Amino acid sequence: MSLSGRTIAITGSRRASELAHLITVFGGKPYLAPTVGIETRHDIAKIAQEFTIKLLKINIRYVVFMTGPGVYSLMSGAAEAGVEKKLIEALQHVKIVARSVKPRQALANYGIMTDLIPRNNTAEGIVKMLKDTDIVGEKIMVLWHGSYSTFLKNELNAGGAEVLEFSTYTYSHKLTNGGAKIFERMGFNYMSPDESKVVKLIQDIKEGNIHAITFTSPPAVRDFFQIAEHYSETLSLQHYLNTRVIVAAIGPSTKKAIEGNMVLVDVMPTVYKMGSMVKSLSDYMSKSNKSKIKTRSTLEEKE
């Protein structure tokens, strides 16, 4: 197979074992070095209760769910607060926006049907989709993932909408018990982040032991480069990723995060799923027998 004899690095903790299995199926050798976990908010019950009250008392038009873990953590908090049934009923009377298939599937597990999914599963894609409808004067609730950007709120406000934002978990260099429970409820076999493994991965990249590296989320990218910066390895890492290692991103948001760290992405599937990413990586590597050559001048042309 085209990945035969190739060592492929995995940076995500969620579904790391599943991705490793896919790489093995294609003949590759998975190299596990997860960078990011999640940590549920300590006041999650209070957040879920406030979320529910807003839905019941304010004329909300759209509710945007950014991730699957966000759905499960919100419902977990609602169950703790004793308002899960009220929350599910309230969500039946608004337009539900899921950023991607994952939150849609999580919502469906609670009997909540999704009305809209953007073609481009980014904040920019959500903004474009909602602005194509009439959002002037509408109230929109957003349940964020573990990181936050002002872009979504600012752009929707500029389009005439009022935005209410909530967050139930944060990204973390460790996987807490609360985060582990969320992954378990989602049916994922997770692997806890380990900084020492990431440091070893960076060293193996420099020594030419890694043929490709995969990224399945922007937080995984962020934490990977933060660890590199902490150990003063940023410039050398950028050099080797741009000249020796095939870089694969699962989708546009992840690709953007990688390129924001001055690294070009070689592979991104047209269908933003792990299986498609591994297949695209396999196809790419089977067609390319020569060493990867990308220079800093190529990066500078993209700016």
CA 11 – CA 269 distance, rounded (Å): 17
**β-bridge mates for residue 60, sequence order:** 139
Instruction: Check residue 187 and give its pLDDT.
Output: 55
Task: Give the Cα-Cα-Cα angle 142, 181, 183 (nearest 5 degrees).
Answer: 65
Mean pLDDT of 206-217: 94
Q: pLDDT category, 133, cuts 50, 70, 90?
A: confident
Which of 190-199, 258-267, 283-292 is predicted most confidently?
Answer: 258-267
Residue indicated by tokens 């005439």 = 160
Note the pLDDT tens digit of each residue in 212-244.
999 998 888 988 999 999 999 999 999 999 999
Mean pLDDT of 66-80: 90
Q: pLDDT category, 302, cuts 50, 70, 90?
A: very low
CA 9 – CA 20 distance, rounded (Å): 9
Say how many CA atoms lie within 13 Å of 192 toward its Cβ.
11
The pair of three-digit structure tokens given for residue 251, joined into one six-digit string: 């989708």
Instruction: Check residue 12 and give its pLDDT.
Output: 82
Question: Domain spans of the chain?
Answer: 7-36+189-302, 42-167
CA 222 – CA 145 distance, rounded (Å): 14
Instruction: Check residue 299 and give its pLDDT.
Output: 42
Question: Which fold is adopted by the domain 7-36+189-302?
Answer: Rossmann fold (3.40.50)
**β-bridge mates for residue 63, sequence order:** 96, 141
Burial call 107-139: b when 16+ CB within 10 Å, e when fewer: beeeebebeebbebbbbbbbbeebeeeebeebb
Mean pLDDT of 283-303: 56
Mean pLDDT of 139-144: 95
The pair of three-digit structure tokens given for residue 48, joined into one six-digit string: 């879920």
Reported residue count of the chain is: 303
CA 181 – CA 285 distance, rounded (Å): 37
- Report the candidate in 249, 247, 225, 246 with the shortest Cα–Cα distance to residue 237: 225
Mean pLDDT of 64-71: 90
149 and 167 Cβ atoms separated by less than 8 Å:
no
Is the per-residue pLDDT at 37 higher than 70?
no
CB atoms within 10 A of CB 169: 27
Note the pLDDT tens digit of each residue in 152-164.
999 999 999 999 9
196 and 231 Cβ atoms separated by less than 8 Å:
no
Instruction: Check residue 2 and give its pLDDT.
Output: 78
Instruction: Check residue 175 and give its pLDDT.
Output: 47
The pair of three-digit structure tokens given for residue 87, joined into one six-digit string: 């929350």
Mean pLDDT of 152-179: 79
The torsion angles phi and psi of 281, rounded to 5 degrees, stand at -65, -45
CA 279 – CA 224 distance, rounded (Å): 24
Q: pLDDT category, 193, cuts 50, 70, 90?
A: low
The pair of three-digit structure tokens given for residue 36, joined into one six-digit string: 């990011």
Question: Which fold is adopted by the domain 42-167?
Answer: Rossmann fold (3.40.50)
Confirm whether 7-36+189-302 and 42-167 share one CATH topology. yes
Residue spans of alpha helices (H) in 92-189: 101-108, 123-131, 151-158, 177-185
Q: pLDDT category, 181, cuts 50, 70, 90?
A: low
Mean pLDDT of 88-108: 94
Model pTM? 0.61
CA 12 – CA 19 distance, rounded (Å): 9
